[in-house]
Structure 1
Amino acid sequence: MTFSISARCARTGRFGIAVSSSSPAVAARCAHARAGVGVVATQNITDPTLGPKGLDLMAQGLSADEVMARFKEEAPHFDYRQVVVLDKTGHSAGHSGVKTLGTHTIAHAPDVAAAGNLLSSKAVPQAMVDSFLSMPDADLGDRLVAAMQAAVAAGGEEGPVHSVGLLIVDKVAWPVADLRIDWSEGDVMAEFAALWQLWKPQLEAYVTRALDPSTAPSYGVPGDE
């Protein structure tokens, strides 16, 4: 009931993850990223603790493969989990436990990995990776949103998608993008793309407002003269 894409932008050093599901508020449970460290996607029968745990291990210097090995040794009920770990070099490791639901697979390439379960076909994650790789000079957010749209075009999940989220981290301690549609009965992927287009031109201004408000653009709200 979930498909996701985890990625690094080799040009900027940003990391990001986009994830969608038929369940509500998918990004709150499944999307984890840390600036300068990497990405963890934890899905299927989700264990949200694996996100921060994996990021902490990578921050200590472990590679994606080493983190996955630790998970396999230590994480409870790991047969139920589908997990992707992408490290600071852009290398990724993936796991789909024997109890992963429905049609499932993981596709990998340098700087990107896509995973899904309860999919309409095993072609979906590769379509996401192909989309991401086809836009090497584009903004990381644009590439992730396009990959999610490519997943839907390739058949997406067996059931309807109702929630989607995007998490992007850069050089600061907080996410520079943390966008979520926690439930929609409409065209959630179109709503998601529109939300990103609304946020994208404001992203840098919000970082500046946090770091040095005196140099930030005006807020553009009533009463801000």
Structure 2
Amino acid sequence: MTFSIVARCASTGMFGVAVSSSSPAVAARCAHARAGVGAVASQNVTDPRLGRRALDLMALGASAAEAVAVLRQTGGPMEYRQVLAVDAGGLSAIHSGPKALGTWAEARAENVACGGNLLADAGVPQAMVDAFGAATGHLGDRLIAAMRAALAAGGEAGPVHSAGLMLVREVAWPVADLRVDWTESCPIAALAALWDLYKPQLDAYVTRALDPAAAPSYGVPGDL
């Protein structure tokens, strides 16, 4: 009931996750990323602890493959789970348990890993990888391109209702954590529109946190 992408921008070192599902608020459970460390999606009968643990392992020096291997051995009922990871070196790894729901598939390349379950077509993850590789510009734009490619390739077997996008870079918090937690229309289209709104303001929000005196105008009534 979910398809997702984890990725690293080779030029900036930024990490990102994008995910969509038929269930509500998917990004709240499945998207994990840490600046300078990596990005992880933990999905299919989701255990959010797996994402956090994979990041902890990579922060200690494990590669994405090593972190996923540790989870396979120690993460409980991993036959039900999908875990996608990308590390600071751009290496990617995926675990898909044999009890993942419906048609499940995975694909990966340098700096990117994609996977899904209850898919309409097993080619969806590869279509996402290809779209990410072909896209240019900001990492957020490339993640949105991959999610749109997933829909074009068939997406989930049923309609999706939620989506999310998380980006991290040099600060300790996500510089973007955008969510469409439920909609009867297309959540990926709504997420893309939200990203288009947020993208021009992203740097200003970081500056306001680090140095308010240097921040641009808020553009609201009462702004001095």
Q: TM-score range by the shorter chain?
A: over 0.9
Provide, for residues 43-74 of structure 1, a one-character-per-residue CA deviation record: whole Å limited to 9, x for no partner.
01111001111101000001111111111110
- AA of the residue aligned to 2:145: A
Report what 1:49 is aligned to. Answer: 49
Report what 1:11 is aligned to. Answer: 11
**TM-score relative to the length of structure 1:** 0.98
SS where residue 178 of structure 2 aligns? strand
Displacement of 1:172 in angstroms is 0.4
Report what 1:190 is aligned to. Answer: 189
Report what 1:123 is aligned to. Answer: 123
Unpaired runs of at least 5, structure 1: none
2:58 and 2:87 in contact (8 A); partners too: yes
2:51 and 2:83 in contact (8 A); partners too: no
SS where residue 100 of structure 2 aligns? coil
Report what 1:103 is aligned to. Answer: 103
Provide, for residues 103-143 of structure 1, a one-character-per-residue CA deviation record: whole Å limited to 9, x for no partner.
111101110111000000111001111110002x4100000
- How many pairs does the alignment contain? 224
Displacement of 1:32 in angstroms is 0.2
CA distance in 1, matches of 2:48, 2:66: 19
Unpaired runs of at least 5, structure 2: none
Please identify runs of 4+ aligned residues in structure 1 that moved more than 2 A.
none
CA distance in 1, matches of 2:158, 2:67: 32
Displacement of 1:209 in angstroms is 0.3
The CA RMSD measured in Å over matched residues stands at 0.7
- AA of the residue aligned to 2:157: E
Displacement of 1:177 in angstroms is 0.4
The reply on whether 1:149 has 2:131 as its aligned counterpart is: no
CA distance in 1, matches of 2:179, 2:141: 15
**TM-score relative to the length of structure 2:** 0.98
Sequence identity, in percent? 66
CA distance in 1, matches of 2:72, 2:223: 54
SS where residue 4 of structure 2 aligns? strand
SS where residue 48 of structure 2 aligns? coil
Provide, for residues 22-55 of structure 1, a one-character-per-residue CA deviation record: whole Å limited to 9, x for no partner.
0000000000000000011100111100111110
